[in-house]
């Protein structure tokens, strides 16, 4: 899959969708992944898995460290630390509805379903 090969989150995707959490996928997992990433999948489902993908430490919250990892993967470590920190703060500031300093699934969903191009970008065509 060229799409997956170039995706900065490929490792995470594999982990999230694999049953053992290690990234070893069975056929079922594979099917699962593409059912989520297909165009037909509902938005909430996509949001849920997107959340899981970005939740690096699997604690059901996107906290600062997750955000930093996300950013670094996304930008290939091109941002300075200050920038990363600032962006993290901003992100949490924007999306954190309950002011607990991290993004819960609800926060994330609330934010992501409003994104204009989440649906169009969070899918893979095969």
Partner 1 sequence: MSTVSESLVGSSRSLSAAKRHKSIRKNSRRIYSAYQEQGSSDDEDKQDERVDSNDPEEMFQNIQYQKEIIANIRTRPWPMRRKLKVLKQAREIVLRYEGRLTRTRGYQTAGADLLKKVSRVLYNVVVLFIPWEVRIKKIESHFGSGVASYFIFLRWLFGINIVLTIMTGAFIVLPELLAGAPFGTTRSKTIPKEHLASAQDLDTIWSLGGYLQYSVLFYGYYGRLRKIGSAGYRLPLAYFLVGMAVFAYSFIILLRKMAKNSRLSLASASDENFTFCWRVFCAWDYLIGNPEAAESKGAAIVNNIREAIVEEQEKKKDTSLAVLISLRILANILVLLSLAGSIYIIYFVVDRSQKLEQEKPELTLWEKNEVSVVVSLITMIAPSAFELVAQLEMYHPRTSLRFQLARVLVLYLGNLYSLIIALFDKVNSMSSAVPVSPGNWSDSSSFLATISQPEVDSFSTLVSDISVSEHRNSTIATIATVLVVRNSSVSSSGSVFNQTALFEKNTRSQQDPCWETYVGQEMLKLSIIDMIFTVASILLIDFIRGLVVRYLSDCCCWDLESKFPEYGEFKIAENVLHLIYNQGMIWMGAFFSPCLPAFNVLKLIGLMYLRSWAVLTCNVPHQQVFRASRSNNFYLAMLLFMLFLCMLPTIVAIVRYRPSQHCGPFSGQEKIYDIISETVANDFPLWFSKVMSYVTSPVVVLPALLLLFMLIYYLQAIARSLKFTNNQLRMQLQTERTEDKKKVFQMAAARLQAPEAAVDKKPDEQESDITSQEASIHTPSPRRNGSVTNFNSPVRRGNSIRTITQSASRADLNRGRGAGSVRSPTVTILPKHRPEHVPNRKTIRSIHPVEAAGIITAQSYGGRRGPTTRYVIVNEHDPRKKLLRSATRVPRHYLMEEPAEILELYPRNFKRYPPRTAHRQPHPHRPQPSQPHLSEEEEEEDKGKGRRRLSLGKTHRPRSLSDLHQPAHFYIGDRGESHASMAKDRHTARGRCGAQEEDEEEEDVEMDWGGLESHSQSQTSLRGADSLLVRSRRHIHSPGRHCQSPARTRHMEAYVKPKTRPKLETPLTESDSASLASSSDQQNSSTDQYIQVIHNKEHYLKSSARQGKLGKKKSKTSFDLNVTESNDLVCSNV
> Looking at beta carbons only, is 23 or 123 nearer to partner 1?
123
Least CB distance to partner 1 at residue 115 (A)? 5
Q: How far is CA 70 from the centre of its chain?
A: 8
Distance of alpha carbon 68 from alpha carbon 85, whole angstroms? 8
Least CB distance to partner 1 at residue 41 (A)? 7
* Contacts (Cβ under 8 Å, ≥6 apart) of 5: none
Binding site for partner 1 (CB under 8 A): 1-9, 19, 26, 28-29, 31-32, 35-37, 40-42, 44-45, 48-50, 54, 60, 67, 70-71, 74-76, 78-79, 83, 86-87, 90-91, 93-95, 97-100, 105-106, 108-109, 111-125
Least CB distance to partner 1 at residue 57 (A)? 15
Residue 91's alpha-carbon distances to 2, 17, 103, 106, 112, in angstroms, are 30, 25, 9, 15, 12
């Amino acid at each position: 899959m060229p799409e997956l090969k170039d995706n900065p989150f490929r490792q995470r995707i594999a982990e999230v969708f694999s049953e053992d959490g290690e990234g070893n996928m069975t056929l079922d997992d594979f099917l699962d992944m593409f059912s989520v990433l297909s165009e037909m999948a509902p938005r909430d489902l996509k949001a849920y898995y997107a959340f899981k993908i970005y939740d690096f430490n699997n604690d059901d919250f996107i906290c600062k460290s997750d955000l930093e990892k996300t950013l670094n993967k996304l930008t290939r470590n091109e941002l300075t630390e200050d920038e990363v920190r600032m962006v993290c703060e901003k992100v949490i500031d924007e999306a954190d509805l309950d002011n607990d300093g991290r993004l819960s699934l609800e926060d994330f969903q609330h934010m992501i379903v409003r994104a204009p191009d989440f649906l169009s970008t969070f899918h893979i065509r095969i």
